[in-house]
């Protein structure tokens, strides 16, 4: 039947509006515990939080002592201006203390998860996570710079003694290598300069490390289209060593030959008086084969350091990265800085903390045929020395 014109419509009964979910208090803290344990329970309770992180140490990749030290470095910068971040779970605005801000930034660097995922763990939007992380990066660049520097004469003497004791290479001051930081193909539109020889978009990190895998010199920001030799020649390390400002000390071998201070690198580098590379070819004489054996063992130090760097700081593994090419080198630098801080605070990394294997999966070995005449003689002198002392 048609409705009668002008008749009042019956109102539908309104559905009851559910009451907002109450804010659940954190579980009671055990006696003597504080922020350290409470923070882990806050983030670990989320369903999307990776199960591989069983402790707060495994999340932040450092001890409480190291974490507190880092907080002390950046406290002034992170508290000079107070920021409030909207908590979208409960609709309020939360003021984060220094520990929370540092933890948010460290998890962004260690987990390598997207800003959106990390925002879900903390109940904040992705722009807040990005802002916190970048403020932390800027502060660490300034406040922690003393932890990444070229060795003092006293430190260098210790480094050389360790290289000779462990690998039998006298006057060796470090090991050098490069690794590629992969970038999404859409990160650098309309430019092929970032396309490397393996048809991947990448940025290169060059690093020199000591026997403790502490970073002593790094260069980042160059595109993957440049080879190792080219990146070396554009670096400050190359200019300083060529001018004799670095690696200019000499020692006399038992046979009377003088050997300049040097670092070791693989076959992608030129053979220089301050950079010893291995002999190339098959069927080498015993002395040269012995030198290569020791050289290979020494260069594994930097290879392990770079593999561990990528394993600890997953943000530079390239899996989820859509980088700003101007900011990425600064993030890489701070990852190396914090790695050094962990070594300075906690000592040489244990075997369980190290990542072995190839740090540049999918990349072929490069080769350089450049060899300085004086470097050829020095390498021969070293090979005879190590063979005699075998």
Final residue in a domain of this structure, among 146, 177, 210: 146
> Tokens 């419509």 appear where?
9
Shared-domain flag, residues 141 and 175? no
Say if 91 falls within a structural domain: yes
| Three-state DSSP state, 32 | coil
Shared-domain flag, residues 307 and 184? yes
Shared-domain flag, residues 215 and 171? yes
Query: What's the pLDDT at 60?
Result: 85
Shared-domain flag, residues 114 and 258? no
Final residue in a domain of this structure, among 127, 146, 165: 146
Say if 9 falls within a structural domain: no
Closest-CA residue to 143 (of 357, 337, 355, 360): 337
Shared-domain flag, residues 212 and 112? no
Question: How many domains does the chain contain in total?
Answer: 2
| CATH number for 93 | 1.10.472
pLDDT in tens, the chain (390 residues): 444 444 444 545 554 444 433 333 334 434 334 677 777 777 666 656 666 666 778 788 899 999 999 999 999 999 876 555 544 443 445 667 899 899 999 999 998 777 888 888 777 888 888 899 999 999 999 999 999 999 999 999 999 999 999 999 999 999 999 999 988 755 455 467 788 888 888 899 999 999 999 999 999 999 988 999 999 999 999 999 999 999 999 999 998 899 999 999 999 999 999 999 999 999 999 999 999 999 999 999 999 999 999 999 988 876 445 667 888 999 999 999 999 999 999 998 888 788 877 888 778 889 999 999 999 999 999 999 999 876
Say if 7 falls within a structural domain: no
Shared-domain flag, residues 131 and 191? no
Alpha-carbon torsion 113, 115, 116, 117, what sign?
Answer: positive
Say if 270 falls within a structural domain: yes
Shared-domain flag, residues 306 and 371? yes
Shared-domain flag, residues 228 and 371? yes
| Three-state DSSP state, 120 | helix
Shared-domain flag, residues 268 and 314? yes
Say if 15 falls within a structural domain: no
Helix residue ranges, H only, 19-152: 35-44, 56-60, 64-80, 98-111, 115-122, 126-143
Say if 284 falls within a structural domain: yes
Shared-domain flag, residues 174 and 318? yes
Query: What's the pLDDT at 7?
Result: 46
Shared-domain flag, residues 55 and 204? no
Query: What's the pLDDT at 215?
Result: 98
The CA distance from 49 to 65, in Å, is: 24
* Per-residue CA distances from 170 to 135, 284, 386 (Å): 43, 22, 9
Say if 79 falls within a structural domain: yes
Residue 44, CB half-sphere, CA atoms under 13 Å: how many?
18
Measured in Å, how far apart are the chain's first and last C-alpha atoms?
108
Instruction: Return the ∠ at Cα 242 (arms to 241 and 246), rounded to 5°.
Output: 20
Domain span holding position 277:
148-325+334-389
Say if 64 falls within a structural domain: yes
Query: What's the pLDDT at 44?
Result: 65
Final residue in a domain of this structure, among 100, 117, 146: 146
Shared-domain flag, residues 137 and 154? no
Beta strand ranges found along the chain (DSSP E) = 84-87, 92-95, 172-182, 202-209, 215-223, 250-252, 258-260, 262-264, 275-276
Query: What's the pLDDT at 80?
Result: 79
């Amino acid at each position: 039947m048609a409705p009668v014109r002008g008749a009042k419509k019956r109102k539908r009964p309104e559905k009851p509006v559910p009451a907002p979910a109450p804010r659940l208090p954190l579980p009671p803290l055990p006696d003597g515990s504080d922020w350290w344990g409470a923070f882990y329970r806050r983030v670990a309770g989320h369903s999307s939080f990776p199960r591989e992180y069983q402790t707060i140490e495994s999340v932040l990749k450092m001890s409480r002592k190291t974490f507190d030290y880092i907080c002390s470095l950046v406290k002034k910068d992170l508290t000079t201006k107070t920021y409030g971040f909207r908590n979208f779970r409960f609709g309020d605005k939360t003021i984060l203390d220094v520990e929370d801000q540092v933890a948010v930034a460290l998890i962004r660097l260690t987990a390598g998860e997207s800003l959106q995922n990390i925002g879900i763990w903390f109940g904040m939007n992705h722009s807040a996570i990005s802002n916190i992380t970048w403020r932390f990066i800027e502060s660490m660049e300034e406040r922690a710079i003393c932890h990444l520097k070229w060795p003092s004469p006293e430190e260098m003497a210790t480094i050389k003694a360790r290289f000779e004791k462990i690998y039998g290479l006298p006057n060796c001051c470090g090991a050098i290598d490069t690794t590629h930081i992969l970038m999404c193909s859409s990160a650098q539109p309309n430019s092929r300069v970032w396309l490397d020889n393996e048809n991947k978009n990448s940025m290169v990190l060059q690093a020199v490390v000591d026997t403790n895998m502490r970073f002593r010199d790094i260069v980042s920001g160059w595109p993957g289209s440049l080879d190792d030799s080219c990146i070396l020649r554009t670096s400050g390390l190359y200019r300083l060593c060529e001018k004799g400002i670095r690696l200019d000390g000499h020692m006399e071998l038992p046979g009377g030959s003088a050997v300049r201070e040097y670092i070791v690198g693989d076959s992608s580098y030129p053979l220089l008086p301050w950079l010893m590379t291995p002999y190339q070819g098959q069927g080498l004489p015993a002395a040269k084969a012995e030198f290569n054996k020791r050289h290979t063992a020494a260069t594994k130090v930097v290879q392990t350091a770079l593999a561990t760097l990528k394993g600890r700081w997953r943000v530079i593994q390239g899996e989820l990265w859509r980088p700003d090419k101007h900011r990425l080198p600064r993030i890489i630098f701070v990852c190396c800085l914090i790695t050094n801080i962990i070594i300075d605070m906690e000592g040489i990394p244990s075997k369980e903390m190290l990542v072995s294997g190839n740090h540049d999966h999918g990349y072929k070995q490069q080769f350089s045929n450049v060899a300085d005449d004086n470097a050829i003689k020095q390498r021969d002198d070293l090979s005879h020395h190590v063979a005699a002392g075998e």
